[in-house]
């Protein structure tokens, strides 16, 4: 067998059924090795889209998504998407083709320092150097992507290794490493006692745990103290968390559970967090704990424990015995803050002839999604994406995540459809975001992956437009204008369904027509330019 056959055999052993990929010289042996196997190629139009699809697969299924890209420029196209996956703590394996191992250093075609480049945006990055060990390298990457804090792992594959003839691969692929341990019973009891002694405790879970809503809901019910997942680049001002910033500022204890002390919680500093607030940090990575120790005064860090957050959740549930650890009044206040939305939103509507307000768009989408308990929504972009997160709810969602990058919406939605063939899937994205990957509607048509993209078309890079308005004034607006392009016609040209929507009353029926078309669809909505909401129960809110 060839090295490439060994690679595909290992993927099958690991249970991987699809590769998100784009063809290129150095990975053609892998394409060839897929023939006659149970590995399907989802062949996209840009390498970043392949990475975004693998990322979405990892987030939704909690099993590593696998992307396969070619060497040099093809690999380089994945770097921003790798950063998105790393910040979102998404389990991903990216396999990149590479110039031949035997010719490195001689100016060979598309030779690039891929291992070093990826090391900055992955958990681990290395090059295979022995065709017999390809299966072991791949299994190691797959297991590492899930271990501890999930994240992307990069393995680069010199083409001469893929073409090499081998009699057999080196034994059975390695099994997963022993997971990070839980905590000693005494440490678990200490955490529970400290929470119970606090008047206003909060447990904050990191991005990977935030997507495991069932686990966080069960933990909340068991310890009867507020447990909140955080995965937004807006941090304490995450619109989906309502007026969370208000209760965070009142907390006297914050337990960071697989959540780094970073910009998302303003590094634990006032005024976002009370200077008297104490912290407990539980994390699988010692580096994250060291970062907390260096950021906080010793008097504010009550304890720092190395342990697997999911295992710690199970231990907390076993020891808590559903004994309330926080006052009912505090729990109710936290719940009310997170669920708070301005009452004016329920009746907000645009004037006749004016572009729609984002709230109007989201009301119609929420009604559409509510008819399916398994619905998934994806939000992407600057201001419009934040309005979507503030207004929509579903069992599953995908957002751009802590990286703050945009452009992933369409690939995310296609991966969601691949993972959940029967779910209603709507992605809400800005017109700027649409421009990153419109050609993936061709992928959607080829693979029969129907989604609905609701494009909020305000003819601007509105997030930056709002910054200019706020910080520099209306007389200094520059470089953020776009044309009101008929994006629905772009999708029609690819063979999908498209429709222009200019009034809120048109949107419910348009969503149904898009859904019943059975095609990848785009609703191009005329949208007003509004800043993203900052939700407060007291003082100013928008």
Tens-place pLDDT, residues 179-221? 568 899 999 999 999 999 999 999 999 999 999 999 999 999 9
pLDDT band for 513, please (50, 70, 90 cuts): very high
pLDDT at 95 over 60: yes
pLDDT band at 106 (very low <50, low <70, confident <90, very high): confident
Report the alpha-carbon distance of residue 68 to residue 63 in Å, rounded: 16
Residue 103: the pLDDT is: 78
- Please tell me the distance from the alpha carbon of residue 371 to that of residue 373, in angstroms, as a whole number: 7
Is the fold of 185-339 the same as that of 343-526? yes
Distance, CA of 534 to chain centre: 22
In the chain, what's the furthest Cα-to-Cα distance? 73
H helix and E strand count, the chain: 23, 17
Q: What is the mean pLDDT of residues 458-478?
A: 93
DSSP string, 324-378: --S-HHHHHHHHHHHH---GGGGG--PPTTSPBPHHHHHHHHHHHHTT-TT-EEE
The pLDDT score that the predictor gives to residue 323 is: 79
The CATH fold of domain 343-526: Rossmann fold (3.40.50)
Mean pLDDT of 382-401: 93
For residue 374, the model assigns a pLDDT of: 94
Per the CATH hierarchy, to which homologous superfamily does domain 3-163 belong?
Thiamin diphosphate (ThDP)-binding fold, Pyr/PP domains (3.40.50.970)
Are the C-beta atoms of residues 453 and 413 closer than 8 Å to each other? Answer: yes
Residue 321, CA distances (Å) to 195, 222, 318, 422, 431 in order:
14, 7, 6, 38, 50
pLDDT band at 175 (very low <50, low <70, confident <90, very high): low
Q: What is the pLDDT of residue 52?
A: 98
Q: Which of 25, 375, 63 is nearest to 208 (CA)?
A: 63
For residue 29, give the 3-state DSSP assignment: helix
CA separation for the pair 198, 311 (Å, rounded) = 23
Question: What is the C-alpha to C-alpha distance for residues 468 and 477, in angstroms, rounded to an integer?
Answer: 6
Instruction: State the average pLDDT over residues 44-56.
Output: 98
Banded pLDDT at 81 (limits 50, 70, 90):
very high
Query: Quick one: pLDDT at residue 176?
Result: 61
Amino acid 540: pLDDT? 45
Q: What's the pLDDT score for residue 61?
A: 96
Residue 128 has pLDDT above 90, yes or no: yes
Mean pLDDT (the chain) is: 94
Q: Tell me if residue 450 falls in helix, strand or coil.
A: coil
Say if residues 464 and 382 touch (Cβ distance below 8 Å). Answer: yes
Q: Around 361, how many Cα atoms within 13 Å sit in the side-chain half-sphere?
A: 32
* Phi-psi map region of 495: left, alpha, beta (phi>0 left; psi -120 to 50 alpha): left
Rounded CA separation 471/268 (Å): 26
**pTM score, whole prediction:** 0.95
In which band, very low, low, confident or very high, does the pLDDT at 177 lie, cut at 50, 70 and 90? Answer: low
CA angle 323, 329, 331 (to 5 degrees): 60
CATH no., domain 185-339: 3.40.50.1220
Residue ranges per structural domain of the chain: 3-163, 185-339, 343-526
170-174, 308-312, 340-344: least confidently modelled range? 170-174
* Residue 179 confidence (pLDDT): 59
């Amino acid at each position: 067998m060839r090295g490439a056959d060994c690679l595909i055999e290992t993927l099958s052993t690991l249970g991987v059924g699809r590769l998100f990929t784009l063809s290129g010289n150095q990975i053609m042996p892998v394409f060839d090795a897929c023939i006659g196997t149970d590995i399907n190629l989802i062949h996209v139009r840009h390498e970043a889209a392949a990475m975004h699809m693998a990322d979405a697969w990892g987030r939704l299924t909690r099993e590593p998504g696998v992307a396969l890209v070619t060497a040099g420029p093809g690999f380089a196209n994945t770097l921003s998407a790798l950063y998105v996956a790393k910040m979102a703590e998404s389990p991903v394996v990216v396999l990149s083709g590479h110039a031949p191992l035997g010719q490195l250093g001689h100016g060979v075609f598309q030779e690039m320092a891929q291992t070093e480049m990826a090391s900055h945006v992955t958990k681990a990055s290395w090059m295979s150097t022995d065709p017999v060990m390809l299966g072991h390298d791949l299994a190691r990457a797959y297991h590492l992507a899930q271990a501890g804090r999930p994240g992307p792992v990069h393995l680069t594959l010199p083409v001469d290794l893929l073409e090499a003839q081998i009699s057999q691969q080196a034994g059975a692929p390695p099994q997963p490493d022993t997971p990070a341990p839980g905590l000693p019973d005494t440490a678990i009891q200490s955490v529970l006692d400290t929470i119970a002694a606090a008047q206003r405790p909060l447990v904050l879970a990191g991005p990977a745990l935030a997507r495991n809503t069932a686990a966080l809901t069960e933990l909340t019910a068991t310890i009867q103290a507020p447990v909140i997942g955080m995965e937004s680049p807006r941090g304490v001002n995450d619109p989906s968390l309502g007026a969370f910033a208000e209760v965070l500022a009142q907390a006297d204890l914050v337990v960071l559970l697989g959540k780094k002390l970073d910009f998302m919680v303003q590094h634990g500093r006032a005024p976002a967090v009370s200077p008297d607030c104490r912290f407990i940090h539980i994390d699988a990575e010692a580096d994250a704990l060291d970062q907390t120790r260096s950021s906080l005064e010793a008097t504010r860090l009550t304890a720092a424990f190395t342990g697997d957050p999911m295992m710690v959740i199970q231990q907390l549930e076993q020891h808590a015995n559903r004994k309330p650890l926080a006052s009912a009044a505090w729990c109710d206040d936290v719940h009310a803050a997170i669920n708070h939305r301005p009452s004016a939103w329920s009746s907000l509507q645009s004037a006749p002839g004016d572009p729609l307000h984002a709230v109007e768009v989201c009301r119609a989408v929420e009604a559409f999604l509510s008819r399916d308990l398994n619905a998934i929504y994806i939000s992407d972009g600057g201001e419009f994406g934040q309005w979507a997160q503030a207004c929509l709810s579903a069992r599953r969602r995908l957002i751009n995540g802590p990286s703050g990058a945009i452009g992933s919406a369409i690939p995310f939605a296609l991966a969601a459809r691949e993972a959940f063939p029967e779910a209603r899937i709507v992605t809400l994205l800005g017109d700027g975001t649409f421009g990153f990957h419109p050609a993936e509607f061709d992928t959607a048509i080829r693979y029969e992956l129907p989604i609905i993209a609701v494009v909020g078309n305000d003819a601007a890079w509105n997030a930056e437009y709002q910054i200019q308005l706020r910080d520099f004034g209306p007389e200094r607006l520059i470089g953020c204008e776009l044309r009101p392009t008929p994006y629905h016609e772009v999708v029609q040209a690819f063979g999908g369904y498209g429709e222009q929507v200019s009034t809120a009353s048109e949107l419910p029926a348009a969503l149904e027509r898009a859904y019943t078309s059975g095609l990848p669809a785009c609703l191009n909505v005329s949208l007003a330019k509004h800043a993203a909401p900052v939700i407060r129960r007291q003082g100013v809110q928008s």
